[in-house]
């Protein structure tokens, strides 16, 4: 952990948890077993992130495109998320974790929405790490909903088009109030963003690790953070020494 200090630990890490299915297939197990093992990894990752002082951890739990998976797998993923909240909410609350959920809530059926709302309400005043669960989330969908909202405000005469700026758009997204991710990690060796945090990730560092999500250990996490700590972030500008000379 040579390079990890309070100043190099990112404030916000977002993770695309990929590879549960392949992890299960490699063991001759049904895909659902991969997701089950993936939940254990979720628990460990939240713990590690909290210990390291990461303030926000966003996990891509279910995308708006995941509904196209076989019904049994969708149902299993829903069941796992519900069980996670039912079983872990008390522990997370005790550990001062604040939960936020991003994604489209408008068409959620059954008891999933009340559970997500309960998790947010119960932990609202907590001051530890914020666990952001991206559920029924897709960045294009999020941006479409935000644009509709702003267009409606304009149509009602409550907003002038010229007052729409990046800050206003950011405040209309599901992630309102949450800083942009400093680092986005994707597991399983796939190297794409898959409609995840497309607005918020404009300047995020991207790290792709070969490990499948169920194999994402504390050591894998630390190695990714060390790699991040060695990156130079310029946000479209120039590196700091040059800035100092010119300023």
Active-site hit among 3, 20, 66, 180: 66
Shortest approach of ligand FPP to residue 32 CB, angstroms?
Answer: 10
- Cα 38 from chain centroid? 15
* Active site annotation includes 66: yes
CA pair distance 29, 37, nearest whole angstrom:
11
Among 38, 50, 103, 181, binds ligand FPP (CB under 6 A): 38
Q: What is the largest CA-CA distance in the chain?
A: 60
Contact 112, 82 (CB under 8 A): yes
For residue 174, the surrounding DSSP H or E stretch is none
Contact 130, 55 (CB under 8 A): yes
String of contacts with ligand FPP for each residue 74-103, x by CB under 6 A: ---x--xx--x-------------------
Token pair 């951890």 is at which residue? Answer: 57
Q: Which of 59, 142, 75 is nearest to 112 (CA)?
A: 75
61 near ligand FPP, rule: CB under 6 A = yes
* Active site annotation includes 18: yes
17 near ligand FPP, rule: CB under 6 A = yes
Among 12, 13, 20, 136, binds ligand FPP (CB under 6 A): 20
201 near ligand FPP, rule: CB under 6 A = no
Supply the residues annotated as catalytic: 18, 66
**Residues forming the site for ligand FPP (CB under 6 A):** 17-22, 35, 38-39, 42, 59, 61, 66, 77, 80-81, 84, 133
């Amino acid at each position: 952990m040579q390079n990890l200090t309070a100043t190099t630990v990112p404030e916000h890490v977002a993770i695309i948890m990929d590879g549960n299915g392949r992890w299960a297939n490699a063991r001759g197990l049904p895909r659902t077993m991969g997701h089950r093992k993936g939940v254990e990894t979720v628990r460990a990752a939240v713990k590690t992130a909290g210990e390291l002082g990461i303030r926000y951890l966003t996990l891509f739990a279910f995308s708006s495109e995941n509904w196209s998976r076989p019904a049994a797998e969708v149902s299993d993923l829903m069941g796992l998320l519900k069980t996670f909240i039912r079983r872990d909410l008390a522990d997370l609350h005790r550990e001062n974790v604040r939960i936020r959920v991003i994604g489209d809530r408008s068409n959620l059926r059954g008891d999933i929405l009340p559970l997500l709302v309960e998790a947010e309400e119960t932990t609202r005043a907590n001051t530890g790490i914020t666990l952001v669960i991206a559920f029924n989330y897709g960045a294009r969908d999020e941006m479409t909903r935000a644009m509709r909202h702003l267009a409606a405000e304009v149509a009602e005469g409550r907003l002038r088009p010229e007052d729409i700026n990046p800050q206003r758009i950011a405040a209309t997204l599901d992630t309102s109030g949450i800083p942009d991710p400093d680092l986005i990690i994707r597991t399983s060796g796939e190297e794409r963003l898959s409609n995840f945090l497309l607005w918020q990730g404009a300047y995020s560092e991207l790290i792709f690790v070969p490990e499948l999500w169920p194999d994402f250990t504390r050591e894998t996490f630390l190695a990714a953070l060390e790699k991040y700590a060695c990156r130079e972030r310029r946000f479209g500008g120039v590196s700091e020494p040059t800035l100092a000379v010119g300023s």
